[in-house]
Chains A and B, each alone.
Chain A
Amino acid sequence: MLVEEVERKLERILPRVAKPGRYTGGELNQILKDWDRVDIHVALAFPDIYDLGMSNLGLTILYDILNQRENTLAERVYLPWIDMEAAMREHELPLYSLESKHLVRNFDLLGISLPYETLYTNTLNLLDLAGIPLLSSDRTENDPLVIAGGHAAHNPEPMADFIDAFVIGEGEEAIVEIVEALQAWKNKGTSRSSLLRELADLWGVYVPSLYRVHYTDVGTVSHTESIDAAAHLPVIKRIVPRLGQPVTRFIVPYIDITHNRIPIEIMRGCTRGCRFCQAGMITRPVRERSVDQVLDAIEEGIRQTGFEEVGLLSLSSSDYDEIVPLVNAVSSRFAGQNIKVSLPSLRIESVSVDLMDALQGQSSRSGFTLAPEAATERMREIINKPVSTEQLLNTAREIYSRGWKTIKLYFMIGHPSETLEDVEAIAHLCKAVLAEGRSVIGKRARVHAGVSTFVPKPHTPFQWVPCDTFEQIKAKQDLLRRELRGQGLKLNWNDPRETMLEAWLSRGDRRMGEVIYRAWQAGARFDAWQEHFAYEAWMQAFDDVGLDPTFYTHRERPIDETLPWDHIDVGVKKKFLTEDYLWSLQGRTRVDCRERCFACGILPKFAALRREHPGEIWECPEVRSPACKQTETIPLVPA
């Protein structure tokens, strides 16, 4: 189908769908190259709607890198909303790119971002709308190469049947090597399997079809076997030694999207070691950008986009070395320009209040967010987020006294060893925070509690623990609904069925692929959107495939079980995760690892890389060796 025909069909379809501005492209700062003058055509896809996908920083970075290459073009693809999908199917309009309106199936490479697991059925739908065979094994030399990356891809197995190659870890350099391999292969004109072998040899690239998974009699993974000389075992995640120049040329949408802002990543990785946090484990080592680099990027970003908001992004902003100088410089340099600066993920301490104070100036102070994650000191020690309740209440008082009326508190239920008393403590803590507010500003004080449910994620110290059952979650949420009520209190929670889905998808093995396929066939898509979540379709899919969902979610996995993602090496040693899990059972905590190295394994894993890039580019402390060896006995099944 020609571009002109796509445009003709759009003329007829767009006036009939909601928010047609999602489907037109043509925004300020989009990059449109002459299709016939470049060799490699890359479609970068976010498998959800424009409104969400436009805010994805990962794809924005890759778009920038790829379009800087003379011989390559990169264009954007998002999933149409339900009404547009129906119209496209009715008018036989396959998925197209926003920039040039070429069909996605005519690109050489389709790169899909998978930051979270509930995008999996959407990914199948995206391939289907594009007219690309869903199964990697069905694709030919005439189909685009389909690659994926993002945090969810650190357990690639559930999507292994559908993706030709995963990038494990950071994509900035890997994408260039992939494009170069693709170009060399196109010139040679050899088979698709030879391309896949070339890719498998690249650092950080995982080609699932070159591995075979073996299972034990009880259905757990026995081992993952490399069935091709090019397929490395384990697959080591990709990292960049230092963060490059931040992107400043962001596409400015004509319509309202989820985040209307200039996102500047000030730091990658986190040294806090919260045991539930997958991001904190898989994004090591910690690398920071300099204050000057961040300030220049903000200035250039404003010049290029005119956005009204700047987001200084990281996993834990308060831990950025120069956070106070950065915030002071930002507030003095950009004062009076009516620009809002947001600083998410602040620690629970009074300096965080100072930072927000400096950033927000006299603008409206609607809500201040803190994430204690658990309500008792015992639980916070188990998850390694040790904050005393006294410190939390002091911070809360400080927040109310500086003009904020609402404090949002984020908690998780379902942490290992949690009791109903620990859950009830969430209600007590919220009321205690509200009481602090009332003592400062009276009846205007508000507390909003967001209570999500913990899912044990791969590559974390909690990867062995079971999830709460549906009934346990229900009981805990009922308790909260009973206890957390009254003037000034608000409670949000997640549907336990959505938590179950997230758990199956994040903890699944390769056999989950068929479940995902059947659930999609039965109509599951937009699983992350409450109103479209089709629980029945998922249960039916498990039934059809003959798998038991509770096998993935409610089973405590022995320490010596081979996990479906064990052949993916994120640099943090399994031995470290095991030790940290045992420490948690004993209520032992770890301090910020900037202060003291706990030998997670990242330094020896990337020792060569660090030697090539000397200086303080990583936030890891100097390690004196040989360290004093300690012996610790590891029981196979923890008590």
Chain B
Amino acid sequence: MRYTGHLDLQRTWERTFRRAGLPLAYTQGYNPRPRLQLSPALPLGCTSECELIDIWLETPLAPNEILTRLKDSAPPGISLSDAQPVPANDPALQNQVTSVEYRASLPDRLTEADLHASVEQLLQADSIQRSRRGKSYDLRPLVESLVLMSGGSAGRESLEMTLASREGATGRPEEVLLELGLDPAECLIQRTRLLRPPPQESQAN
């Protein structure tokens, strides 16, 4: 499941609604698209405990009914926690979320002491020039916080990061790990929280 890209995830949701027999609304026109919006794209390979989805249904149904039917129809790897109605004219989730928290479990050979210095150095820097896919950018302003924690899952050290998630300014957890001299492929990265300035809960309409 964690290797499912953003577009494929949208399709996975569309199929889940169809299996559940829930009347998902579609856009008008020659190429009707399902009316659903996901929270900012989860980087490939990351897991998450906090995704949001906005959906429009053709006919109103009780949130509990929707939740129950989705739970029965969701594929392995997706579990649903809550459904709530939201105002139809709320801004898109993409625009509501401003920052995202991630937790990276570090390889078990590493201890807090090994990383302490490099984390401090990153936080002290004014600017960190990196290049990704041939484009150079400054990583530093995208990192809002960075905290080393011990005793995470299976006793591993972990790194908690809060990264910016705004249009044109999205921090990627694997870039932070690379900057710290870590191999992202050796760290399990989980998204733990989506931060939205006026706090709201997950939803369905």
Contact = CB atoms under 8 A, between A and B. Distances in A.
Interface of A: 12, 14-16, 19-21, 24, 26-28, 252, 254-256, 260, 302-308, 337-339, 362-364
A15 B4 contact: no
Interface in B8-29: 8, 11-12, 14-19, 21, 24, 26
Nearest to B15: A306
A141 B75 CA distance: 39
Contact of A14 (B3, B14, B18, B76): B3
Nearest to A339: B18
A254 B21 CA distance: 20
B23 to A, nearest CB: 9
Interface stretch (B30-38, B131-139, B165-173): B30-38
A337 B18 contact: yes
B45 interface: yes
Contacts of A362: 30
B8 A306 contact: no
**Top 8 closest pairs, chain A to chain B, by CB:** A306-B15, A15-B185, A306-B18, A306-B19, A28-B75, A21-B3, A254-B4, A364-B30
Contacts of A24: 3
B76 A12 contact: no
Given A27-B75, A256-B8, A306-B14, 19 more contacts: A12-B186, A15-B45, A21-B8, A26-B1, A28-B75, A254-B4, A255-B4, A255-B8, A302-B19, A304-B19, A305-B15, A307-B18, A308-B14, A337-B18, A338-B24, A338-B32, A363-B30, A363-B31, A364-B30
B186 to A, nearest CB: 7
A307 B32 CA distance: 15
Nearest to A22: B3
7 contacts: A15-B184, A28-B76, A254-B8, A254-B77, A255-B5, A362-B30, A363-B31
Nearest to A308: B14
Given A252-B15, A363-B31, A306 B4 contact: no
Contacts of B76: 26-28
Contacts of B11: 256, 260, 308
Contacts, number: 74
A306 B3 contact: no
B7 interface: yes
Given A26-B76, A364-B31, A21 B18 contact: no
A302 B17 CA distance: 11
A254 B19 contact: no
Contacts of B185: 12, 15-16
Nearest to B76: A26
A303 B45 CA distance: 29
Interface residues of B, number: 30
Contacts of A338: 24, 26, 32, 34
A26 B78 CA distance: 12
Nearest to B14: A308
B203 interface: no
B73 interface: yes
Interface centre among A16, A254, A256 (most CB of B within 10 A): A254
B19 A303 contact: yes
A187 B186 CA distance: 45
Contacts of A21: 3-5, 8
B32 A254 contact: no
Contacts of A15: 45, 184-185
Contact of A308 (B18, B21, B30, B75): B18
A336 to B, nearest CB: 9
Interface centre among B7, B19, B73 (most CB of A within 10 A): B19
A256 B7 contact: yes
Nearest to B187: A15
Contacts of B7: 256
A306 B73 contact: yes
A303 B12 CA distance: 14
Nearest to B30: A364
A337 B3 CA distance: 28
Interface in B129-162: none
Contacts of A255: 3-5, 8
Given A254-B3, A363-B30, A364-B30, A307 B75 contact: no
Nearest to B185: A15
A226 to B, nearest CB: 50
A302 B8 CA distance: 18
Contacts of B15: 252, 305-308
Interface centre among A14, A16, A302, A306 (most CB of B within 10 A): A306
A21 B11 CA distance: 14
A27 B76 CA distance: 7
Nearest to A29: B75
Contacts of B24: 338
Nearest to A12: B185
Contacts of B1: 26, 254
Nearest to B188: A11
Nearest to A30: B76
Contacts of A254: 1, 3-4, 8, 12, 75, 77
Interface string B35-54: 00000000011000000000
Contacts of B3: 14, 19-21, 24, 254-255
Contacts of A252: 12, 15, 75
A478 B73 CA distance: 54
Contacts of A305: 15, 19
A301 B59 CA distance: 24
B156 to A, nearest CB: 14
Nearest to A255: B8
A26 B3 CA distance: 11
A363 B3 CA distance: 31
Interface centre among A12, A255, A363, A364 (most CB of B within 10 A): A255
A305 B184 CA distance: 34
Nearest to B58: A336
A14 B45 CA distance: 9
